[in-house]
Structures are given as C-alpha cells and as structure tokens.
Structure 1
Amino acid sequence: MIKTYNQIIQNLKEENFTKIYLLMGEEAFFINKISNFFEKNFISEEHRGFNLEIHYGRDSNIETIINSAKSFPMMSDKKLIIVKEGKDLDVFKSSNNSKIDLLINYINNINSTTTLIFCLNNKSLDKRSKLFKAFLEVSTVLDSSSKENKVYDNQIPNFISNEVKRNKFNIREEATILLSESIGNNLEKIDNALHKIFTNKDDKDIKTEDVIKSIGINREYNLFEFQDSLAEKNSLKCGKIVNYFSSNEKKFPIQQLIVYMFNFFSRLLVVKTKKLSDPNNISSLISVHPYVARSYVKASNNYKLNEIVNIINAIKNLDLISKGIKQIKSGNKNLMGEMIFKIFYNK
C-alpha cells in the first residue's frame, strides 16, 4: 500500500508495522527519517548486535539480503534488515529477471520474524513493473517525490511547527519564520537545526535566540531582517545588511539575493494590484505564512505601483549583469549598492 510520510510516521508511533518497506524518491529527508526511526527504536539495544543488519546497495547483492531475511532472529522474536543506498543494489539497477524473481518470491513468502526495509534515495521504481506491483501487494510504499509528500515553500513554517510538536517542544511564530527564511525548503537542514536546538534546550519553549544560536546567523543581518528593511523602506538598515551580505558572499551570493528580491517585489506587485490589506487574504493569494504577510501590508503602504514595476525591471537587469549577459565592469558589492539605491530612490 502506498502511504504518505505522515501516515507512516503515525503508524510507527502506534506500533503498526508491516514486514517490508519500500522507501523511494527524491526527498531523502522522509526516507532517512523513517529508516532512522527503525534503526534506533525497532530492536531493543541488547538484541541489536545479532538482530539488526545494515546493508549498502553497492557492497551487497539481493541473494545475500534474501538469505539473511530468511534466517531467524537470535534470542529475540524479531530481526531488522535495512538496505541503504538501495538504488545501487543489483536487483534495482538491472533488468536481470532471475534476481527480480528472487525478490518477488521472497515478497510473496515473507519470513514473519524479519522486517526488511529498502531505502532507494533518489530513485523510484517503475510503477508498471511486476516488481513494484509485488511490493504494492504486501508492503508499505513511500514515494517521497509524490505531490502528497511535497512540502512547498509556503508550507515550510507549518512543517517546522509540526516537527517541533512531534518532539514535544513549542516554537514561537517569529522563530519559525526566521528558521524558514534562513534555511529555505531543505528539509534535511531544517531537521538538523531543530535537532541541535532540542539537544541544547533546557526548557521546551523555542525562541528566536535559539534559532540564531543554532544555525549561526547574525541577529541583525539575515534574510528575514533584509525583507523587513525592504518592506519598511528603511534605507539605512537595508544598506547595513547589504554591506554585511557583500562581505560574506559565500554565504549570501548575489544570485540568491536577486531571487529573494525578485520574489518579494513580484508578490508585492500582486498585493498592490489587488489592493489587499488583510494578512490572511494576502497569505492565501501569494502563498506565504500569515506572519510574513504582514510585511507585505507594510510594503504596500510604502511603495507606489509604478515604483514596484520599476524595481522589478531593475532587478531583472541586475540578474542579466550578474550572469554576464550584460557586461558592466563593477563588483557585486557595487551592483547591490546601486540596486538598493534604485529601490529606495526609484532612480
């Protein structure tokens, strides 16, 4: 049966397990999270030495894995086999029918004391194939690339909140947004940052200061404050932030800043054109968190429609220059300085 990540996690919490798991697709975070849960929780610590096996696709073969899966646990009632980097396992790499038939035969005649997990990061089986259909009959299947599992940019704050709740912590709204804006939609990095916060917290309330400390961002000079300075039309604050960014180009490359500015002003153009002022309506229309939508209310009051159009055109021009399509002899620091001048003075 195909299930979403959230459905599988809920099943694991309820100790509702199946004997075979096929975890596939491009979103490694979901696959690793489920695999790690089994590795740390399924077999008691005193029995792991004999009853927990980790195989790597490139170093193993399906015959070895099936033989191990058929063997019985030692001094325990269950055994766990996890195949990591499964995309490199022979049975998933070739169209060797004998190997495929061997795996299908095991799927149809499973050892009830063995739980077998295949982790196919960055690979998906053809859903028309006989092997996938065999998995579908008796296994739990995760397609991490499916739209049901996709976490879009505007859903990242809710994703963070849910992960925090799962770990029995609370997080303040501004801390959620700061983490989201600073890391983006890399779920693995978000999870690592949260784990670092959980590990170092004495209480259960996650504040902005905890996020700043855990991911090493500057309290004053970050993307969240950058957007705020643009929305407020605060040239002094924005100038200081851009100067800091320009001195840290590895962390804040000009291409990233161009995309960030373009997204902000493109969304602002929609808000201004629609004459919206309610954060909830703005949130729904441009797919941002309601907390972030407040900055668009401020910006809409501070920028005229023609100013926004001119700024977007200037950003497009800067993009061409940064990519070398337009030749101008000027460093990135000067280019960003000129861009900020155009934003605030519309020249």
Structure 2
Amino acid sequence: MIMNIWKQIKKKEFSQLYLLYGTESFLIHETIQLLIKSVLNEDEKDFNLSTYDLEETPIEVALEDAETFPFMGERKLIILQNPVFLTSEKTKEKVEHNLSKLEEFLNDPAPYSIVVFSAPYEKLDERKKITKELKRKAENAEAKKMVDQDLRNWIKERVKSNHVEIEEQAIDRMVAIAGSNLFVLTNEIDKMSLYVGDGNRIHLDTVEKLVSKTLEQNIFELVDKVVHRKTEEALRIYYDLLKQNEEPIKILALLAGQFRLIYQVKEMARKGYGQQQIAGSIKQHPYRVKIAAGQANLFSEYELKQMMLFFAEADYQMKTGGLNKTMIIEMILFKLNTLSQKK
C-alpha cells in the first residue's frame, strides 16, 4: 500500500528502486514530492535531482545519469516518468529502449542513487519479463482510487500533517460534500486547517461552514428535495445550477446516477445485504449508502423502476434534440414528484 511507503520515507528508510503505478495521479505525485523533500536538501536539488520522460528519452540515458556519482551530496534521485514498456498499451513509440541495460541495472543498482518509476497506468503487463523483474526488485505500490477506510485513513494522515485533528462526523460530511477527489480534498483540508489553527480540531460545523459544494453535492441535495416531494426547492437548486453554467445533460446524468444508487441499495437490501456489504460491492462510500438506504425506504420498487424509465426517456430526448434541454429536466422533476405509488 502506498501509505506504507510514505511511513518508510518519513523514517528515512529508503529503497534504491521504487515502482509507483496506477491511475490516482495525486498519490504518485505526493509520494515523489515526499521523496524529494526527504532525500535531498534544497541546495542539492539542482545537482542531484533528475526527471526523464521515457516517452521522449531512452532508458539507457536515464540509467547513465543514475550511475554517475552525485555532486555535493550523498544521493541522487532519478524520476522516470511514463515507462510505457511496462504495459501492453498501444502507443506510438517515439524512442527505442535498451531493456537489457535496465535488467543489468536492476541486478546491480547504483548504491548512491534512488530511482523511481512513475507509471500512470491502470494495469502493468505482468507477462513481460521486465515488469516481473522490476516488481520483484523495487518497492512497489498501486495508486488507485481510495474508498472506505483507506480514504478515511488518508484524510486523517493529511489532517495530522497539518498539525490539527478531525472528528469522525466531519470526515463523513466532508466526503459527502466534496467527494473523493484527492486534489479537492487536499485543498479543503488545508483551508480548514488554516482556519482552526495548529493543535485544534476540525468539527462538523467547520465542514458545513467552509467546504465548497461540488456539482455532485448540489445534485445530492436536489435529490433529497425530490425524495421529500419538495419540488419548488428542487427547482430552485436546478435553476441555481443553470446560473452556474452547468450543462443540463450533465445534471441529468448525475441525477439519474443518484436514483440508480437508491435503486441498487434498495434491491441489495431486499436480498439481505448489509450497508457495509453494499458499499463494498458497488464501491461507494458507506455514508452515501447509508443516506441512499434511508431515501430508498420512501419509494416502492415500482416507483424506482418508473424513475429509471423516466431518466432513460429524458436522456434519449436530450440527445436527439426532441425538446428544450432545460425543460426536459423541469418535466422530469414534476414527474418524480407526482408519481403515485403502485404495488
């Protein structure tokens, strides 16, 4: 796990080789920044920090740098970005890589250099010899989208690094409002940490006061108004989103997605799944599943199925230009409100 690597780096326990791969670019970026900060002093960075894009530079050029003694310091840090030869992705090769040179280096890495492979790919090609060898020799971790407890742990670590604390309810609410994008969460955590000051705690009311609502959170509140048959308030939120230049087709997609979640939760609960099981199965934060479960109790299975049909029809109309896009969502909000329960 990537957070284990962070702990080692903070203790100054460095490996000579690192392989960071996955689609959560924030985690890869943060790990590299932590290495730079921990391995090199400010006056060493100009001489002993190198970054190579392996889509532009042959691997042997970067390795030659890694095998050169550091200047004015004990270690060199070499960052190798986009090692496309580790994947099976189809790309137009701009350069040829001497992978036998890389194999030699992996067998006998320069003791004064730390080499980091930054591979922003969903999967590595485990069939390739070089991939197997690198994973065997390097300290490696997958940077993937965080959910559930991993996300909570990351938030706590980020808060702790800012010398403040955060209560559990505040974590739930922040994720509900801001989502799980780590770039967004970092900005919100840093903002709240500055607001409460060193040694203090981020409370639920701090989150309510300071965290910016995402489009998804506005949709979440819109759905809540629809669930409780408050059409006028739902329309007000919708018109506010239009004033913010949000596209009706995007609003429709998120609205449909939220009701699809409610339907999924109701169906899985009916089959005997608990909320934690549901959250793990559909890869949603437990807080969102908990809210959806409460909303699902306000609808029959028939109503939710009808809603899915409404959204499918609205999507078709919006994409074929049959009606004014703004009016389509207005109509669907009225339909959701007036839908009578049938069993």
Give the aligned partner of residue 185 of structure 2: 190
In the alignment, residue 340 of structure 1 is paired with which amino acid? L
Q: Separation in 1 of the partners of 2:272 and 2:20?
A: 46
Give the aligned partner of residue 323 of structure 2: 329
Q: Separation in 2 of the partners of 1:297 and 1:258?
A: 16
Equivalent runs, 1:336-347 vs 2, <5 Å:
336-346=329-339
Q: Separation in 1 of the partners of 2:96 and 2:325?
A: 56
Going from structure 1 to structure 2, the CA distance change for 1:337 and 1:159 (only over 3 Å counts) comes to farther
Q: Does 2:244 align with 1:245?
A: no
Q: Separation in 2 of the partners of 1:284 and 1:125?
A: 29
In the alignment, residue 295 of structure 1 is paired with which amino acid? I
Q: Separation in 1 of the partners of 2:95 and 2:323?
A: 55
Going from structure 1 to structure 2, the CA distance change for 1:133 and 1:258 (only over 3 Å counts) comes to same
Give the aligned partner of residue 13 of structure 2: 16
Going from structure 1 to structure 2, the CA distance change for 1:187 and 1:66 (only over 3 Å counts) comes to same
Give the aligned partner of residue 253 of structure 2: 256
Name the TM-score, length of structure 2 as normaliser. 0.78
Partner secondary structure for residue 51 of structure 2: strand
Identical counterparts, % of pairs: 20
Partner secondary structure for residue 20 of structure 2: strand
Partner secondary structure for residue 323 of structure 1: helix
Counterpart contact for 1:157–1:180, Cα < 8 Å? no
Give the aligned partner of residue 120 of structure 1: 119
Query: Which of residues 40, 46, 49 is equivalent to 1:49?
Result: 46
In the alignment, residue 328 of structure 2 is paired with which amino acid? L
Give the aligned partner of residue 302 of structure 1: 298
Give the aligned partner of residue 108 of structure 1: 107
Q: Separation in 2 of the partners of 1:11 and 1:134?
A: 22
**Offset at 1:209?**
6.5
Going from structure 1 to structure 2, the CA distance change for 1:173 and 1:46 (only over 3 Å counts) comes to same
Q: Separation in 1 of the partners of 2:30 and 2:102?
A: 25
The CA deviation string for residues 76-99 of structure 1, in whole angstroms up to 9 with x for no partner, is 22221112344499xx958957x1
Q: Separation in 2 of the partners of 1:65 and 1:310?
A: 59
Name the TM-score, length of structure 1 as normaliser. 0.77
Q: Separation in 2 of the partners of 1:275 and 1:96?
A: 55
Query: Which of residues 48, 60, 64 is equivalent to 2:57?
Result: 60
Query: Which of residues 146, 167, 180 is equivalent to 2:175?
Result: 180
Query: Which of residues 286, 304, 313 is equivalent to 1:317?
Result: 313
Give the aligned partner of residue 223 of structure 1: 219
Counterpart contact for 2:10–2:38, Cα < 8 Å? no
In the alignment, residue 248 of structure 1 is paired with which amino acid? Q
CA RMSD of aligned residues (A): 3.6
Query: Which of residues 271, 284, 296 is equivalent to 2:277?
Result: 284
Q: Separation in 2 of the partners of 1:323 and 1:156?
A: 38
Equivalent runs, 1:68-83 vs 2, <5 Å:
68-83=65-80
Give the aligned partner of residue 34 of structure 2: 37
Unaligned runs of 5+ in 1: none
Aligned residues: 328
In the alignment, residue 45 of structure 2 is paired with which amino acid? R
Q: Separation in 2 of the partners of 1:138 and 1:275?
A: 45
The CA deviation string for residues 28-59 of structure 1, in whole angstroms up to 9 with x for no partner, is 22321211111222212232232222333345
